[in-house]
Structure 1
């Protein structure tokens, strides 16, 4: 049976807002301190994994006791961050969607690497999104419909060297067959004019960042 959604909780900035995204029948992965966050709030992860260098020995015992399965790894020999280990596991299960929570925080190196994970899911034809209290980050290579919800701003940033054929409808600042090169800020802080807006591109990978202050 195909998994509909996988939620990954990792060790960046997490709070009670993150728990609101859990729905019935979600498959839940806790990465390192993200697993402790879940268990502390009464949520049993299907799998907890990582090197667990962010938790104490006693906390790790609790994680092992209250997770469906625990997959520890060596902190010295591993080649991936805990978040990428969780992401690769999620992609291997071929869900319809992956939602990554706790991926943004004080460590910009980890934040940027986590945003790049969206490309791995896109290559596997899996819908993926990173969510925190102020942002919803996704990736498109063709067409994406944005619905007016709680995010007043929509920013567009290339993830490839350039993105061509960008056409925006339903935005305060529309574009038609435009090109964005990596490093340009032209796509920052647009806004929708109605209940939905459409982003179309011809070639490239475009980050779509819905945000609020």
Structure 2
């Protein structure tokens, strides 16, 4: 499985240590200022791309010099820099994509970035959004195993589609059996695993899994 890490130009203070994920990522892509974030984490971007309107000339020279491939686009374009990075990841046959630096900034960007997980899902590519406090992933109907993670103890399920039918949770502090979850419901917010792992399953709809920590 080819795993690609995309780093965008969201607030750097919300981006976790990228070295923690380095062993799992085959290709690193920096979108705009995200390329500089990669370099500050001592990771050489395999691809640095975007319009680079959020950096100065000296920073651009450094990115161009230290990246394997540098691709600059016009500021006036139909795609965001992140969309361009996603297209490159799919071109490289990425099967799993980690996203960093795509939360905590503008709300319109944040919402669209979460929606991009659905675009990937339709292409049979798994997308995972990660920042220092959250890990977000999208699921289609089925049964899934979930492991306990010390850095993300809180587990929430949020309907991405208007209805999620037949949701069951096993091994959770608040178990659930064949529940129909709809937009606006808080029934599945802030749950926890009882032991090291559990399972969740559902029959219809599209479901957001959000693992998080307080503070």
1:182 aligns with 2:183: yes
8 Å contact kept, 2:17–2:41: no
8 Å contact kept, 1:18–1:132: no
CA shift in 2, pair 1:34/1:170, >3 Å:
same
Structure 2 equivalent of residue 120 of structure 1: 119
Measure how far apart 1:45 and its partner are: 0.6
Structure 2 equivalent of residue 34 of structure 1: 34
8 Å contact kept, 1:94–1:126: no
RMSD over aligned CA atoms reads 1.6
1:167 aligns with 2:165: no
Q: How many residues align?
A: 210
Q: Secondary structure at the match of 2:17?
A: helix
- Tell me the TM-score normalized by structure 1: 0.92
Structure 2 equivalent of residue 50 of structure 1: 50
Q: Distance in 2 between matches of 1:208 and 1:16?
A: 19
Contiguous gaps of at least 5 residues in structure 2: none
8 Å contact kept, 1:163–1:201: yes
Q: Distance in 2 between matches of 1:121 and 1:48?
A: 21
182-191 vs 202-211, which deviates more?
182-191
Q: Distance in 2 between matches of 1:114 and 1:30?
A: 15
Q: Distance in 2 between matches of 1:24 and 1:138?
A: 17
Superposed CA deviations along residues 64-91 of structure 1, whole A, max 9, x for unmatched, are: 1111111111111x12221122122212
Q: Secondary structure at the match of 2:62?
A: helix
Q: Following TM superposition, where does structure 1 have runs of at least 4 consecutive aligned residues deviating by more than 6 angstroms?
A: none
Q: Secondary structure at the match of 1:116?
A: helix
Measure how far apart 1:154 and its partner are: 0.5
Q: Distance in 2 between matches of 1:180 and 1:145?
A: 19
Superposed CA deviations along residues 13-63 of structure 1, whole A, max 9, x for unmatched, are: 334623321117620000001001112333211101111111011211111
Contiguous gaps of at least 5 residues in structure 1: none
Q: Distance in 2 between matches of 1:112 and 1:106?
A: 10
Q: Distance in 2 between matches of 1:55 and 1:31?
A: 12
For residues 33-182 of structure 1, the aligned pairs below 5 Å read: 33-76=33-76, 78-141=77-140, 142-150=142-150, 151-182=152-183
Q: Distance in 2 between matches of 1:89 and 1:70?
A: 12
Structure 2 equivalent of residue 13 of structure 1: 11
Measure how far apart 1:188 and its partner are: 0.8
Measure how far apart 1:180 and its partner are: 1.1
Superposed CA deviations along residues 101-147 of structure 1, whole A, max 9, x for unmatched, are: 11111322211111111111111112221111111111111222210
8 Å contact kept, 1:32–1:51: yes
Q: Secondary structure at the match of 2:21?
A: coil
